[in-house]
Structure formats: C-alpha cells, structure tokens
Chain A
Amino acid sequence: MSDAALSSPGAVRAEAPPPLLPLDVRSLTLQLGGTAILDGVDLSLGAGGCTVLMGPNGAGKSLLLKVLHGLMAPSGGTVSWNGAAPRAATPRQALVFQKPVLLRRSVAANLDFVLRARGKDRDRRAGLLDHVGLGHKARQPARLLSGGEQQRLALARALATDPEVLLLDEPTASLDPASVAAIEAIVGTARDAGTRILFVTHDTGQARRIADEVVFLHRGRVAEQGPAARFFPVPASRPARDYLDGRLVV
C-alpha cells in the first residue's frame, strides 16, 4: 500500500495538536437500568503498541470502548485523553464495531463517504481498498460482501480517518481463520505505522498473537493490567487465571 494511502498518525496534519495519549481513566462507572456495568475502572494507556482488552461475557469491555470513544457518557469517574474529554477526542480515534455498519452503497462509495465527510483526499480510496484486499470489489454493493470482507471494509473506513487510536470491538468474532489472519495483519500494519491499538477479543490465541499489553476486565473492573509477555504465562489475578484455564468466570 502506498504511503499516501495509509499515512501514519500526524503525517497529514500541518500543525500537529498535542498527542492523544496517555489515556488516564479513574474510578469510571457506568450504570444502565440500575445495574453497574462498569464499576470503578482504573486504566492507563501509554503511547504505541497494541493493548488487548479481555474478559468474560458481560465484563463491560464493549461498553468501556464506547465510553472511551465518547459514544456513551459515563455515570461517574473521569476519562482523560491527555487532558481531553472523550467526545473531544473522538475525531482523532476510530472505532470498528463487532458487526460492521455499512452504508447501502458500493464498497468504493462507503469509503468515499468517510473520506469526503472527514475532508480527506479521495485519491486515497484505491490504496486503502488494495491495502485491505478489496480493490477488485470496489464496485460491488458493500452489503453483499462476506462477513470477513465487510469487516475489512469497516477497517479501511476506520483507517481512512488517520486515527491516532484505533479501537476494535471483537472485529474477528464469527470469522473464518483466513479472514482473522487478514484483519490481524491489517491491524498489525496500523500498529507498526504508529497507530495505538485497543483491541477487544475473547480469543486467547489471538490475544497471544497480537497483544503487547493485556487489560483483563472482570465484573466491570480492571482485574489485571500488564505486559502480554507476563500476563499469559503468569496471570496475577484469579479471574484471569480461571479465564485462561478455560474455567467459567462469573
């Protein structure tokens, strides 16, 4: 892929704003219908690398991602992207949802829409589509793509915004191994280009492959955060140990 198509964060900004990281989350709570989904999350993220957010179903991973991205307002606590509130930081991030929401248009038009809306150069479309392996499907209706292709298109749209932070909410759930590998490769390239990755997954094997750091969420709290090289061989918390051993974590 050309450098122009996949520019590194900050490369296209004439006057670079202060970096978005570090992220500092303190005592974050989120109540929905009287239930505490997030119950005092404390979390810090530095610049660079890929952090994998893991945890059992209902731990609050997806909602945490949405709060960090500014799509949901927390009930309490603070989220600070290097001093900026989540909503103010949203334009400098991109979120890839578990189920891609594609416009009822062609593959190319889906990408053009984002490039135009965000004031980006539309000449980058071909490069971005080639990068995610969809160059030959540019004219096809986006909603007729396979699940893996749809997710790659969603990823291309996210990358089109030149995000400093890329948030991914189980982007490979229900995909075949080839599609998983393709998406991991794209995410890896983005990380190598300097984009900070926060990746939610249930797949322990995938987490081992891509994670530089792991945050383990349990019952709406961070049970453990540490380097992947330490987390997988010797998880410090009981829920993480049970989870990695395949025992039911409630």
Chain B
Amino acid sequence: MQNLGEAFALALSLVASGDPDLLEIVALSLRVSLSATALACLLGLPLGALVATARFRGRGIVLVVMNALMGLPPVVVGLLVYIHLSRSGPLGFLGLLYTPGAMILAQTILIAPIVAALSRQVLEDLHVEYAEQFRSFCLTRRQVIGALLWDARYALLTVGLAGFGRAVAEVGAVIVVGGNIDHLTRVMTTAIALETSKGDLPLALALGIILLVLALGVNAAVQALRMTAARSAYV
C-alpha cells in the first residue's frame, strides 16, 4: 500500500515535471500501438467484411482459425518476427530488428486477427439485416462491403479500440523484437518490466498508472464519439 501511494505521487510528479524521458517513452508507445492498430484495421477490417459476406466451403474452419488467432501468445509472435527479421532470416535485409518498425510489425500481427474476428461478427450481424435489401438493389460485393464498413463504423471503432488495448498493454512481443533499448525502442510496458526487475516498484507502478490513464483517455474519447452517433441512430 505504501508503494501504491508513493507510486501515485511519483506518477503525478513525473507528469507535472514533463520529464522528457517519460514523454519520449509515452510518445513511442502511442506511435507504435496506434500505427499497429491502423495497420491491423487496414488488414483486418476488409478480411472480416469478406468473411462476413461470403459463403464458401470451409468457412466454418476459417471462423475457428480466426477466432483462435485472437489468443496468439505475444512472446511467440515476437519470436516468429524475431526469426524473420534477424540477420539470417528471410526479412533480415530490411534491418528492422530492434527498431520501432519491428515492434509495429509484431503488434500488427498480434492484433490483426482480433480486428478481423471481431469485425467479422459486427459486420455479419449488420449484413443479416441488410442482405435482402442489398440484393434487391443488385449491389456488387465491393459495394456491399463498403456500405457495411461505413454503416458499422462506430461499432468498428470499438473493435479498433480492442486492438489498441491489446497492443498498448502488450510486452512480450515488443521486448523480443525491440530489445527495450533506451531512447530507441523503450515503451511503457517494457519500461515497467525493466523497473520491476530492477526493484524500483514505485517507478514501475507510476508508469503503470500513466499507461492506464492513457488507455482510459483513448477509450473515453471513442465512447463519447459512439454516444454522439447513438443519439443520431447511426449505431
């Protein structure tokens, strides 16, 4: 409990002082996780929409795999990305290992299945409602997917948020491919892990509190947007 009080005080003083190291870590955390979320949405949303609207042999297996991939262990993803990006790996020539780029790649792989699986469910529910009308309008598949993605945009924000939440809180993958290098690849979670291992629990807790506040802030912003949309019956 003493640690907790001390941590709150430290967190406040760190934020109030505008500690440049802290700001650098926060900025990198947001940059990596938001980039990964954006990339995962670019990949996952069309994939989710495609599976939501298509009927094909083996679709059930695809759904099982998509859902199962939501539980990818971060360390395993980190290891796989590490193997591919290491100097002797197939993507070693990119020189990405121990850079924010590698961390973005690892987090993208981690959360793209989450975005795809959750958006598939959201879009399939909407498609059930729209399908007959869309067939009556003689829409192409592309038009159907475009309309579903647009009309489900506020629900999909929550999906994106789930991806962001997973990414920003993740430590296993980014520490393997990023290496937790000071001023280069150190993010909130890896910094917390480091301070914990050093025994500086108040600082670790303070960083944790800041991370929680950041996550809460992003969630609150999206929730406010959703409530505005709900008032207009756009949800």
Contact = CB atoms under 8 A, between A and B. Distances in A.
| Among B132, B136, B234: residue with most chain A CB under 10 A | B136
B233 A143 contact: yes
A161 interface: yes
Interface stretch (B13-21, B46-54, B137-145, B200-208): B137-145
A11 interface: no
Contact of B133 (A91, A101, A143): A101
Interface residues of B, number: 17
A141 interface: yes
B147 interface: yes
Nearest to B132: A71
A66 B139 CA distance: 17
A115 B137 CA distance: 10
B132 A97 contact: yes
B45 to A, nearest CB: 17
Interface string A128-169: 000000000000011110000000000000000100000000
A90 B136 contact: yes
Interface residues of A, number: 22
Contact of A161 (B137, B150, B233): B137
A103 interface: yes
Interface string A81-118: 00000000011001101000101110000000110011
A159 to B, nearest CB: 13
Contacts of A221: none
B10 to A, nearest CB: 46
A130 to B, nearest CB: 22
Interface of B: 129-130, 132-133, 135-139, 143, 147, 150-151, 232-235
17 contacts: A66-B132, A69-B136, A70-B135, A90-B136, A97-B132, A101-B130, A101-B132, A103-B130, A103-B147, A104-B235, A105-B150, A117-B139, A118-B137, A143-B233, A143-B234, A144-B232, A161-B137
